[in-house]
Structure 1
């Protein structure tokens, strides 16, 4: 069975079971080796998803934040060792004076998050009981949710995934550049490499070709009996820790631009593809899990070579994967407007790709 047929069968099976709605694009160099769009961008009117559909991409956006910070470091506006508290005038917070930009990039700052990703989903909804989620419009709106919390670990002690750290990086981008975070990304990433279908679109905005996000409603037997929009469970505006809107093709352009030094110098581009810290102390699937600058890596346990890097994205009604395989020059993009469906699909596609190249 050829590669295209294997992948299409994997996805079609999920679509038939209401387990996937979105778009998938896989390229090897300049060759498109698979593309497909499935399900509805709008369930009410039964508007189909297409490869031109724009999807919210959640934490994949962290990669834009990291690239922007590295650009500003190259311009000598800030440095990896810049002290965040001093730079942002956060002396009255519980963030350590020794937290640096680099520790925020690698999730090793030890600061408290505004929402710990290890908590249950119910805790996310409880977070917005007293502070309505629709009020989260600016980066500054997040500060009071975490700056007065006690640190969760010592600086550089361990990796702990942290959205608040990327909120701080967004504020640093604004101060160093004199632009809003969103305008900086638009001018220095999207426009620079012709990501013409990428932007920061609010849930309550009306814009072309943007998929709505949905969560499945299941009965006691886990059978899907309906759908709910994510308008009350997802922050209305994007932030520097996630929430941009993009297409599969634009995200391919982004990875290719990084590989070809179009966004950063050759030296700094290489830094984006170097694992920095141990992420998980396990070797599931015989891989070593590491993290860099908004880039998650899996390394072969024996050879220590990078097998795959990229980022995941998960929100209510959003599930995405952006993966790059350096040894084969393959890029995989999975964008879904249905919660928690891209992860297992990403692994199944990964296994198909590994078998083809073994």
Structure 2
């Protein structure tokens, strides 16, 4: 893996990458590199175990928590959102189900429509971000967006759908969304470095998210103060690898449930990917990814090989991930 490490170092240097790159082959960590600064103002360097926000990578955790409730019988994939929403969010079609929301086939209007945002660093939330600290707090953000198409008739990536899922999970379980993820996903997978951290009181082992490759401006005014159903959890490259291992072993959800989660529910996108329930899929790869102001993330996995890129800048992962993937796919020693 010497040539791989050299290549990754070169990409990091040429792009100003800030974050962590890790490659696991079987049970062996063959590459783990940290670059840049976790805290620019104080000059604190990034470390392999620095906790980094992974934006929409958090949707995978939401999906797993929901499927745990399905396994326990508190929810089913056919549960209608309306049965738990009651009079809340009246513009959501009465036919929208948990499966529609998980697979981005609900057709509900999205509070954060990525097709209409040219630059993620320009987007500001419609309400003060300090008020968004629980699943229920998103109700005022989600309300007022009309249904885009009948549920089940198309695929459109929808952030709001996962915020709705967090609300449904709370109401079905009687447990807060954050605690549900902690008990049903993090503890079961043995993830000790993953959690929902407040952006206004980050601990010293967490990376601040930066809007640009240089400068001191962080993302604290752009994102909810605490991550929600559609993203924002903090984790490490090591915990990401541990999550994939736990999924393969059936320690979070059963192997049968996981197999169903990685069954395609959408038509192929322009880049060849399809979508299951909380996971992107392409060929024999399963992946989780995220992009937001001051955060970018991609982790791809197939049995025996995992690679992850976590960055505390908006575009950092997208400079590192393509060449890394090309190197790994063509490297027989990494298979």
**Interval containing the TM-score (normalised by the shorter chain):** over 0.9
Q: Deviations over 1:118-177 (max 9, x none)?
A: 12246874653x622332222222223333221122211211111111011111111122
1:181 aligns with 2:170: no
- For the 8 Å contact 1:237–1:243, the answer to whether it is kept is yes
The equivalent of 2:62 in structure 1 is 65
Inter-partner Cα distance in structure 2 for 1:216 and 1:93: 39
Residues 227 and 22 (structure 1 numbering): CA distance in 2 closer, same or farther, change over 3 Å?
same
Larger radius of gyration: 1
The equivalent of 1:292 in structure 2 is 276
TM-fit CA distance, 1:189: 1.6
Inter-partner Cα distance in structure 1 for 2:24 and 2:305: 6
- 1:317 alignment partner, one of 288, 294, 297: 294
The equivalent of 1:350 in structure 2 is 325
Inter-partner Cα distance in structure 1 for 2:208 and 2:118: 20
Inter-partner Cα distance in structure 1 for 2:229 and 2:175: 13
Residues 235 and 333 (structure 1 numbering): CA distance in 2 closer, same or farther, change over 3 Å?
same
- 1:247 alignment partner, one of 217, 222, 236: 236
The equivalent of 1:106 in structure 2 is 103
Q: Deviations over 1:314-338 (max 9, x none)?
A: 1111111111134xx2111111111
Unaligned runs of 5+ in 2: none
SS at match of 1:32: strand
The equivalent of 1:235 in structure 2 is 224
TM-fit CA distance, 1:13: 3.0
Mapping of residues 261-276 of structure 1, within 5 Å: 261-276=250-265
- 2:166 alignment partner, one of 156, 170, 186: 170
Residues 274 and 49 (structure 1 numbering): CA distance in 2 closer, same or farther, change over 3 Å?
same
Unaligned runs of 5+ in 1: 218-223, 300-305
The structure carrying a bigger strand percent of its residues is 1
Q: Normalised by the size of structure 1, how large is the TM-score?
A: 0.87
Q: Deviations over 1:270-298 (max 9, x none)?
A: 11222221142x4x5xxx32100110011
Mapping of residues 90-169 of structure 1, within 5 Å: 90=87, 93-121=90-118, 125=122, 127-128=124-125, 131-169=127-165
Number of equivalenced pairs: 333
TM-fit CA distance, 1:16: 2.7
1:332 aligns with 2:287: no
The equivalent of 1:277 in structure 2 is 266
- For the 8 Å contact 2:120–2:293, the answer to whether it is kept is no
CA RMSD of aligned residues (A): 2.0
